[in-house]
Amino acid sequence: MPESTLTVNYAGAVNAALRRCLADVPETLLYGEDVAKPGGVHGVTRGLWKDFGDRVFDTPISESAILGSAVGAAMMGRRPIVEIMWADFLLVALDQLVNQAANVRYVSEGRLTAPLVVRTQQGNSPGACAQHSQNLEAFLLHTPGLRVVMPSTPQDAYDAMVAAVHDDDPVVVVDNRTLYFGEKQEIVTGRPVSRIGGSHVRRTGDAATVVTWGAVTHQVLAAADRLAEQSVAVTVVETPWLNPFDDDTVLRAVARTGGRLAVVHEAGVCAGFGAEVVTRAAEAGVLSGRPLRVGAPATRIPAAPELAAALLPDADTVHHALREFTAA
Amino acid sequence: MRERLEADLHAMWRIRAFEERVQAWCGSGDVRGSVHLCIGQEAGPVGVCGELAEGDALFATYRGHGWAIARGAPLRPLFAELLGRATGVNGGRGGSAYLSAPEHGFHGENSIVGAGASHAVGAALAGRHDGTDRLAVTVFGDGAMNQGAVHEAMNFAAVLDLPVLFCCENNRYSELTPIRDMMRGDRLTDRAVALGIPAVRVDGNDPAAVREVVADLAEAAREGGGPAFVELVTQRLVGHYVGDPQQYRTRDELAADAEAEPIARAQAALAREGLDGAAIEARARDEVDRAAAAALADPPADAARVREHLYA
Ligand SMILES: Cc1ncc(C[n+]2csc(CCOP(=O)(O)OP(=O)(O)O)c2C)c(N)n1
């Protein structure tokens, strides 16, 4: 596939990546609830069924069978890309990810593998109920053997999906639905497949390092811009890949910014991955002073938009927290 | 007979008018987030709930506004919930897809497909241990029949002989996909029968027919016969969620569904007896309008209290 460019929103970028993988990798299958004929409840898989026939298909509402069949098909040489419509629904079939998929390579000493991709989306959108609002990456990250990525831009969404499909282990690609219909951007397609992993230094500055991932990256960048107007420059490292995690870039940045580290994520802070990032920095001896974690408090997420907004980090709360942090 | 017909029509109009108001509020932005309406499916809730006793426990899905109303939850706090008001049945925490009104025997919606089935099993189990003859009812769609959790719940209730009524609202669609693409054959009742559970398929657009079937099944279950399964054959006249353009349905199908829907049918039945349903509709709409206006004037949910109620 030759390199070229495409102007798409996030959903379009995922669609383009799936199309490329279906075209380039004959072992891929794409399936899930409403993904084929309807083209996905968010329209992300639109048109793929028409072009790839029975390698793209709709399934019953049976998450356990969706994930379990992906494990079995992957063990037999296919590369299934399966959709779990909302990350919350992963929980009804977590056995297939945690007990099953994540064990295949390890326990068989590599004689069996499960190169599957789970596509899902999470996050909070106004009026979503408590069972459709959770940010569950920490659940996944506690499971060795599962790769996890949470892109925030069309280009990253494209690159992450292509890399995930070519990776030889189970990868969970977690979108945030609030990103799907954002601005269209020009992305580069058709580049050689990159390895999974990596991060982006999105802003540079000496006041502190801010590590973030997923949709809230945009709020962090907005907050960083506001801080810059107030003459406080922070380094922002976006780490879309949470496993493998780019420790090197993060630790180097923290060291360069005087050991000051803040982590911002949309998920709850209690036992969140932010705690892991902070701990790694502490263990590496690069922290000085207290770190900062910004995320949702340990509570359930209510449906009323005003109530949910009171819990979730936005550009204002992030800006406020970072300003206090960098002033301290 | 005539009173019954009128009462059913009134009950169905209350639900219809409520749903139409919610639909309008989705358009105006007063209600935000994803909302699943039961327009066209009103006869099931009205028929089933008509046979329930006060202490019975009902567990519904996200398409549950009609079930909450039929169970007797008042309109204003239901509206207030959807509007995110402090006076909502759940103070704005539940929203459209996950609300509850347990003081009315409505033990909640569920937005995880199939998850409520086992809750009903537990409610029946609790009833056995607290010495009541509580019937537990769970409502789910045809698509939910493909969840392992539903099969597990049905078998569990069967082997324990628990009084659970499994109500499957077969509107032929799981979101955007027809049930014919998702299972072989169309006999949902066979799955219950295979587990040793008596199962009946009924015209889910006829509240009287539903009531008759449920009366028998519920009585047998309460008397120790174990669970029962009823398939309510119905249709939704609207999309899966508000805003769903329904590209997966043909015009002919929509027309046939409009023909079969329960309210028009009940109006026609009344007309055959020389009666007019218009006054009943007007009365229901008036109740709904007043509840809607009151809910709109209610105060917003209080963000300062958002962290309350996580623990005792
Ligand atoms: C476990 C789970 N999987 C998927 C979904 C997404 N989803 C919500 S409603 C729905 C369709 C359910 O169809 P059906 O059971 O027939 O009920 P209906 O909506 O027709 O009332 C799906 C797939 C979900 N909420 N929960």
Residues 6+ apart with CB under 8 A from A278: A261, A263, A287, A291, A293
What distance in angstroms lies between residue A241's CA and the mean position of ligand 1's atoms? Answer: 30
Q: What is the pLDDT of residues B89-119, one digit of tens each?
A: 999 999 999 999 999 999 999 999 999 999 9
The ipTM of this complex is 0.94
Q: Flag whether pLDDT at B186 surpasses 90.
A: no
Is the minimum distance from the CB of A93 to ligand 1 under 6 angstroms? no
- Per CB-CB distance under 8 Å, the chain B contacts of A50 are none
Within chain A, residue ranges assigned H as helices are 10-24, 48-52, 63-75, 94-95, 104-107, 137-141, 154-166, 217-229, 247-256, 273-283, 305-309, 315-327
What's the whole-model pTM score?
A: 0.96
Q: How far is A64 from chain B (nearest CA, A)?
A: 8
Backbone angles phi, psi at B121, to 5 degrees: -60, -45
DSSP annotation string for A44-76: TTTTHHHHHGGGEEE--S-HHHHHHHHHHHHHT
Written as one letter, the residue type at A44 is: V
> Per this entry, what is the length of chain A?
328
Residues 6+ apart with CB under 8 A from B260: B205, B235
Within A99-175, residue ranges assigned H as helices are 104-107, 137-141, 154-166
Contact (CB<8Å) B248/A131? no
Atom number of ligand 1 nearest to Cα A131: 25
Is the minimum distance from the CB of A94 to ligand 1 under 6 angstroms? no
- For B296, the enclosing helix (H) or strand (E) is helix B278-297
Is the minimum distance from the CB of A282 to ligand 1 under 6 angstroms? no
**Pairing status of strand A117-122 against strand A79-84:** parallel
**Pairing status of strand A56-58 against strand B199-203:** unpaired
Confidence grade of residue B133 (pLDDT, cut at 50, 70, 90): confident
DSSP annotation string for B233-271: E---SS-SSTT---TTS-HHHHHHHHHH-HHHHHHHHHH
Size of interface A-B (CB pairs under 8 A): 132
Cβ pair A208, A37 in contact under 8 A: no
Is the minimum distance from the CB of A33 to ligand 1 under 6 angstroms? yes
- Per CB-CB distance under 8 Å, the chain B contacts of A302 are 92-93, 95, 301, 306
Cβ pair B9, B267 in contact under 8 A: yes
Q: Flag whether pLDDT at B75 surpasses 80.
A: yes
- Per CB-CB distance under 8 Å, the chain A contacts of B114 are 61, 92
Ordered mean pLDDT values, 10 residues apiece, chain A (328 residues): 94 98 98 97 97 97 98 98 98 97 97 98 96 97 98 98 98 98 97 97 98 98 98 98 98 98 98 98 97 97 97 97 96
pLDDT of residue A98: 98
Confidence grade of residue B195 (pLDDT, cut at 50, 70, 90): very high
Cβ pair A299, A311 in contact under 8 A: yes
For chain B, give the percent of residues with pLDDT over 90.
98
Query: How far does CA A250 lie from the centroid of its chain?
Result: 17
Q: Which of B96, B175, B300 sits opposite A34 (nearest CB)?
A: B175
